[in-house]
Each structure stands twice: as C-alpha cells, then as structure tokens.
Amino acid sequence: MVNTFTASQESSQSGALKSTFKSTAAPGRTNTPRIVVTMPAYNAAKTLLKTFDEIPKGLVSEVILVDDCSKDDTVAVGSTLDIKVIRHPHNVGYGGNQKTCYLEALRDGAEIVIMLHPDYQYDPRKIPEMVAPILDGTADIVLGSRFLGGGALKGGMPIYKFISNRFLTTMQNMVLGTNLSEFHTGYRAYSKQFLERVPFLRNSIAFVFDAEILCQAVYFGFKIAEIPVETRYFPEASSINFWNSVKYGLGVLGSLVKFVSAKTGMAKSPLFRP
C-alpha cells in the first residue's frame, strides 16, 4: 500500500490507511503491546527486503516505511511487502522523515515504536531485546549501541566517524549528566508516553533530530537504556558524507547549548517547552 504524504492530506488519509501486516503472537497471550516498526527510507531498494525479512513477525504488529522521495525503486519494492508505505512528494530530510514515521505509528495505536533503518546496517532480530526495557518499565527509550562490546570498528565504521562519535558522545555525557556509550545510533525504541509528551515536531528536519530528541529526553526526565548491537558498513548501507557529518557535529553542539540555556533559564528553546 502506497500513500503520498502531504500536509493537506495528513488528517484524512491517516484514517484511510490500514496496515495488512499481521501479528503472529503466540496463542493465549493477552494484553500484548502493539509494537510498530518504522523505517525512514531513502534509496533503500537494494536492502529493504533483507531488512524486512529479519523482522520478528510474531512480535511486531505493523511495519511502516516512509520514503523520503527516493530516486530508486524503494517504493516499488516496499509495495510488494506486507507493510504500510508512505511516500513524501519531496525530500524533507532525515529528521522530517522521522516525524512522519512517529506520527503514523501513534495514529495506528503503537505502544512501542521502533526506528529501524531499512539499509540492513542494524540487525532486526535484536527487536525483542530493544523493547524489553520498555516492557518491564525500566526505560522509556532504548538505544542500540554500536560501542557496547566494541562492535563499531569490527563492523567497519570509518575511523573519522569513530573519532567524531567518541568526541561528541563525551561532550553530550558531560553536559547532559548521562553515561551512555553512544548517542548517535540509528536503532532506537520509544514508548508511546515518551513520543506523546516530548515535542519532537519542533525538532530539526535534518540529522541533528537524533541528538535533539535525546536532549529532550533528559530535560523532561525520561529514562534511557542501551543494548549492544552489531553494525554493518557496506556500499549499499546509508551513511552521511564528510561535510554533512561536520554539519551534524556542529548541530549536536548547538543542541547542547540550547539544553544548557533552557536548564539555566537563560533562554528556553521551543524544543524544551511542553
């Protein structure tokens, strides 16, 4: 099923779109939470099927693919799978894509929302571990860390990304008062309560969305957990280039300035207003 997302159609189409993705939860289970996997996609035609095939169907209630106006056959491939496909009519950026993902998941009744990149860089079979801390009440957000267990370099992470990740994560831990192994993973799980309270729609439409939403998590007092995940770097896996990485790094530092300003009362960015 394919839908082109526009602001004017947002409300009317959300009711019309129905997923045919069927959960195969074990018989006799009651009060099973509705877990929705969202995949923010851009030029993921070559890796989408492999990613989808490894999603644990017995646990996941629905899969939503949001295509950010890809230039390849991502939408065509997605349309052959048992998932909801939404296509942006123009490219809005990685952060903008996530906003659509989370809004659609919440509209479809998600209680836990997974962000899984459809580029096969992260292992979909880790989803049960990703949702466990939310299910047992010990976390509101779960991050799949490439640095727990030392899997980043083993998976082929470029050395400049490794160094910049370590620098930015150190700065973020210092400013936010956290002790996370990394802030920059693209594999995440969010509770419904978190997404309904945190004003993520005010965040950037660019890559720095990921850093801003974690600043918001700390500011609003939500609990963050991590699990170790392995990652794969290969030609088809999506990755931002060097200059976009520089822009991202500056944006991360800017998000910390906004956090400190809000905490100290100097100036409260809309990111930190209820």
Section 244-260 average pLDDT: 94
Alpha helix positions (H), the chain: 10-16, 48-53, 74-78, 94-107, 127-135, 151-154, 159-176, 192-197, 209-219, 242-264
Count of other CB atoms within 10 angstroms of residue 28: 5
Contact in structure between 65 and 84 (CB atoms under 8 Å): yes
d(CA 70, CA 82): 20
d(CA 39, CA 51): 10
Contact in structure between 191 and 134 (CB atoms under 8 Å): yes
Count of other CB atoms within 10 angstroms of residue 170: 11
d(CA 172, CA 183): 8
d(CA 24, CA 56): 9
Q: Which of 43-52, 160-169, 227-236, 250-259 has the lowest mean pLDDT?
A: 227-236
Question: Would you call 267 exposed, middle or buried from its count of C-beta atoms within 10 A (0-12, 13-18, 19+)?
Answer: exposed
For the segment 112-141, what is each residue's pLDDT rounded down to a tens digit? Answer: 999 999 999 999 999 999 999 999 999 999
Confidence label for 155 from pLDDT (cuts 50, 70 and 90): low
Q: Which two tokens stand for residue 185?
A: 């993973």
Phi, psi of 4 (to 5 degrees): -90, 120
Q: Which domains does the chain have, with CATH numbers?
A: 32-266 (3.90.550.10)
Please, what is the Cα angle at 83 between 78 and 89, to 5 degrees? Answer: 55
Residue 151: the pLDDT is: 67
Instruction: Report pTM.
Output: 0.86
Residue 104: the pLDDT is: 98
DSSP 125: G
Question: Would you call 229 exposed, middle or buried from its count of C-beta atoms within 10 A (0-12, 13-18, 19+)?
Answer: buried
Confidence label for 64 from pLDDT (cuts 50, 70 and 90): very high
Q: Which two tokens stand for residue 250?
A: 């500056």
